Amino acid sequence: MASTAATRSLADIPTLAQLYRSAGHRHVSSSTSDFPPSAAINARVGLVRGDITKLRLDAIVNAANKSLCGGGGVDGAIHRAAGPDLLTECRQLGGCPAGEARITRGYRLPAKHVVHTVGPIYDHADPQRSERLLRSCYEESLKLADTSGVKSLAFSGISTGVYGYPSTDAAQVACETVRKYLDRDISALERVVFVTFEQKEVDAYAEMLP
Ligand code: AR6
C-alpha cells in the first residue's frame, strides 16, 4: 500500500542557491566541473534526499526498463504509488528503447506526469556507450518534459541501482546534461530537481555540483 508520508512541493525543496547559503551544506569546491558557477542556474536546480513518489511537481522521471511495464526500485515505487491506471497507459506505449523517454499521466501520484526513461545497463567493457546512453536519457527527458509544458521536473538516479552505473560517474553526466540544457536559454523549465535516495548518491552529487 502506498505510504501516506508527507508530500513535498516545490517550496519544500531547496535550490542549490539556498543550500549553498545554509550552514548545513557541505560545499565541496569541484575540480571536476567544466562549467563556471552560475547564480541563475543554482536558483533553477534543486537537490533533495527522499522518495521521488512524494514530490508534488509537474513531472518526475522514472528509471524504467524497455517494457515500460514496471519493475523493482524506483520504477516499482512509482507504479505502486500511481496505481494500476499507470500500467494501463504504459502498456499502450509499446515499450521504449534505452536512451529514449516517454511521458504519461501521474494518476494517484502527487506529480502530474511521469517521464519514463530507460537507462543503460552499465557495461564495464564499453563505458563510453553507457555514458552516451545515459546522457541521452537526461537530454530526451528534459526535451520531452519541456515540450509537454512541464515547468518542474525531478530526476531519480537513472541506472544507478540494479543497472549498476557508478553513482559518481552518473552524477557527473546528470549535472553536465542538465546544466547544458538549462544554459541553452530555449528552455521553459523553471526547476530541475535531483533526488538522491541512498547515501552513495548524496555523496556523488555533493562532489559534482559546482
Ligand atoms: N525515490 C527516489 N529514488 C529511488 C527510489 C525512490 N522511491 N527508489 C529507488 N531509488 P533503480 P536502474 C533510486 O534500481 O538502476 C527497475 O526494476 C535508487 O537508489 O530503481 O535504472 C526497472 O524496472 C537508485 O539510485 O533503477 C529496471 O528494470 C535509482 O533510484 C531497472 O530497475 C535507480 O535505481 C532499472 O534500473
| Predicted local confidence at residue 24, as pLDDT | 56
> With a 6 A CB cut-off, is 74 part of the ligand 1 pocket?
yes
CATH topology of domain 10-208: Leucine Aminopeptidase, subunit E; domain 1 (3.40.220)
Record the pTM: 0.93
101-105 and 113-118 beta bridge pairing = antiparallel
How far is C-alpha 117 from the chain's CA centre?
A: 10
Alpha helix (H) residue ranges in the chain: 16-21, 39-42, 73-82, 84-91, 127-147, 167-183, 199-208
Per-residue model confidence (pLDDT) at position 30? 52
**Least confidently predicted of 100-104, 118-122, 151-155, 181-185:** 181-185
Q: Does residue 68 have its Cβ closer than 6 Å to ligand 1?
A: no
- Domain boundaries in the chain? 10-208
What's the gap in Å between 197 CA and the centre of ligand 1?
9
Tell the residue nearest (CA) to atom 18 of ligand 1. 161
Torsion angle, CA of 85/89/94/96, rounded to 10 degrees? -90
DSSP structure class, residue 12: G
pLDDT band for position 11 (cuts 50, 70, 90): very high
Using the atom order of ligand 1, give the atom closest to the CA of residue 63.
21
Q: Whose CA is nearest to atom 21 of ligand 1?
A: 159
